[in-house]
Amino acid sequence: MKKLFAFFFALIIFPVSAQTGETTEGCLYSKDEIEAAFGGEVTKIYGTKISDARWVGSKILFCHYVVRSSSMSSLSLVLSTSGKNTELPKKLLDPWMMGTKPIPSDPDGALWRIAGPSSLHLIYFRGNTQTKIDITHDQSQLTDLKRQALLLRRVP
C-alpha cells in the first residue's frame, strides 16, 4: 500500500511531461499473428506513442487490436522502455505486483496477472523494456486464453 501511495504521490509532485501521438510503431504483431494465436478476426488496429521527458530515452508504445471472437474482444500490447535504465520498468511495476503469478520455467520470467473479471495480463521484461499484453476476455475461456497468449512470439 505504501508503494502504491508513493507512486501516485510522485505523479502529483512530478507531473508527466509527455508528448503523445498516433503511431503503429508499437504494433509489433500482425493481424495474421493475432488471428492465428486466438482465432477470430482482427477488425481494427491502432496505436499511440508517449515520450516521457522525466527519464531520458523513455517511451511507452501502445497498440490496441479489436478482435471479433467468442472468447475475447481485444488485445493491447504495451511496451514501456526506460532508456538505458534496466531497473526502472521493474520499479514502476512494483505497485502492480500484487496478484501476479510467475509462469513456471518461463525464459523471460513472465507473470500472469488477472485484473478484474475480464482482464488478463501477460507481463515480462527484456533489458530495459517491460512488455505487457492485456487481453479483454470472457472469463469462462481464461485457461484457453493463457495457452493462446503463450503462442505469441515474444517482443521486442
CATH number, position 95: 3.40.1000
Q: Can you state the angle between helices 31-38 and 142-149, rounded to 10 degrees? A: 140
pLDDT band per the 50, 70, 90 thresholds, residue 57? low
State residue 15's pLDDT score.
Answer: 44
Domain that holds residue 48: 2-149
Give the total number of structural domains in the chain. 1
Does the structure show a pLDDT above 60 at 83?
yes
Q: How many CB atoms lie within 10 A of CB 135?
A: 24
Q: What is the mean pLDDT of the chain?
A: 80
Q: Helix or strand or coil: residue 84?
A: coil
What is the identity of the amino acid at 99? G
Evaluate whether 154 touches 126 at the Cβ level (below 8 Å). Answer: yes
pLDDT band per the 50, 70, 90 thresholds, residue 111? very high
Over residues 84-95, mean pLDDT: 58
State residue 81's pLDDT score.
Answer: 81
State residue 99's pLDDT score.
Answer: 78
154 within some domain: no
The whole-model pTM stands at 0.78
